[in-house]
Amino acid sequence: MTALVYRRILLKLSGEALMGEGAHGIDPDVLERYAREVQALVAAGAQVALVIGGGNIFRGAGLAARGMDRVTGDHMGMLATVMNALAMRDALERLGLPARVMSALEVDQVCEGYAHRRALKHLECGRVVLFAGGTGNPFFTTDSAASLRAVEIGADLLVKATKVDGVYSADPVTEPSAAFYPRLSYDQALREDLRVMDATAIVLCRDHAMPLRVMNINETGALLRLIRGEDVGSLVVSES
């Protein structure tokens, strides 16, 4: 078996990634496909933590733009991430992978609360840990929650899995001529306002020297190649 370059990883998936071709909600086939990608990582010996967004259900900023109180909207967004995490736990367990949801918001009847040492224990026991509820605070994003948890659990790598191939000079969805950056520094991402991840999340990675990979989740097997040391997507580190 090929040795792993990264043993403990935190994988961030956007809520929208779960929609597949749908306009909202969760596509069970897509969920199963992502669960199989995680299964391959665990089978290779990796410890995997997941943060899943909530944008396929609610985003506080979107609700606030339609007149709702922002804090209420953010609470709804955070609860949406709990639903996504439960759905992913179910998909993982159906593949035979033990998984635990730990929420930053207390929803005791539904899942465990987040506790740092308990999370480490789950990972060491080979369970996939799904960090739900974002940071537990309004005005933050699940990207920031992913950076925070990655630093807390001492992950070897934070992977932002998205629908584009990595970091570009501008959003490649709206600017197809944007240049691909295979490697860049946190400061370059901040300076050039490369909005693949929010600034709070990038600053946290920078200040704690957490290496960050941005990659396409729809490229089957790419995650496994990545933790075995292949150059997949874009790498964001201290020096480019």
Ligand X SMILES: O=c1ccn([C@@H]2O[C@H](COP(=O)(O)OP(=O)(O)O)[C@@H](O)[C@H]2O)c(=O)[nH]1
In DSSP terms, which residues pair with 52 in a beta bridge?
13
CB of 65 to ligand ADP, least distance (A): 15
197 DSSP assignment:
S
When binding is defined by CB under 6 A, the residue of 78, 97, 132, 210 that contacts ligand X is 78
* Beta carbon of residue 195, minimum distance to ligand X (angstroms, whole number): 12
> Considering CB distances under 5 to 8 angstroms, the limit depending on partner class, which of ligand ADP, ligand X, none binds residue 59?
ligand X
Q: Which stretch binds ligand X (CB under 6 A): 19-27, 76-84, 124-132, 202-210?
A: 76-84
Residue 97 or residue 222: which is nearer to ligand ADP going by CB? 222
Residue with tokens 């295979």: 182
For position 140 contacting ligand X by CB under 6 A, the verdict is: yes
Residue 129's beta-bridge partner residues? 49, 100
Segment interacting with ligand X, rule: CB under 6 A, options 71-79, 175-183, 208-216, 218-226: 71-79
- Are residues 94 and 36 in contact, defined by beta-carbon separation less than 8 angstroms? no
Q: Is 141 annotated as a binding residue?
A: yes
Place of tokens 């995997």: 48
Tell me which of ligand ADP, ligand X, none is bound by residue 140, counting a contact when its beta carbon lies within the kind-specific cut-off of 5 to 8 angstroms.
ligand X
Residues that bind ligand ADP (CB under 6 A): 14, 16, 55, 162-164, 167-168, 170-173, 194-196
Q: Which residue is nearest to ligand X (CB)?
A: 53
Query: Residue 162, interface with ligand X (CB under 6 A)?
Result: no
Tell me the backbone φ, ψ of residue 105, rounded to 5 degrees. Answer: -100, 145
Per-residue burial over 107-137, b if 16 or more Cβ lie within 10 Å, else e, is: beeebbebeeeebbebbeeebbbbbbbbbee
Annotated binding-site residue? 55: yes
Task: Give 77 or 122: the residue with its C-beta nearer to ligand ADP.
Answer: 77
**3-state helix, strand and coil shares in percent for the chain, rounded to the nearest 5:** 40, 20, 40
Integer CA distances (angstroms), 163 to 15, 21, 58, 84, in order: 11, 12, 19, 18
Least Cβ distance, residue 70 to ligand X (angstroms): 8
* 37 close to 92: Cβ distance less than 8 angstroms: no
In DSSP terms, which residues pair with 214 in a beta bridge? 160, 234
Alpha carbons 144 and 138: distance in angstroms, whole number: 11
Least CB distance from residue 80 to ligand X, whole Å?
6
Binding site for ligand X (CB under 6 A): 14-16, 53-55, 59-61, 73-74, 77-78, 80-81, 134-135, 137-138, 140-143, 145
Residue stretches of the annotated binding site for ATP? 12-15, 55, 59, 162, 168, 171
Residue stretches of the annotated binding site for UMP? 54, 74, 135-142
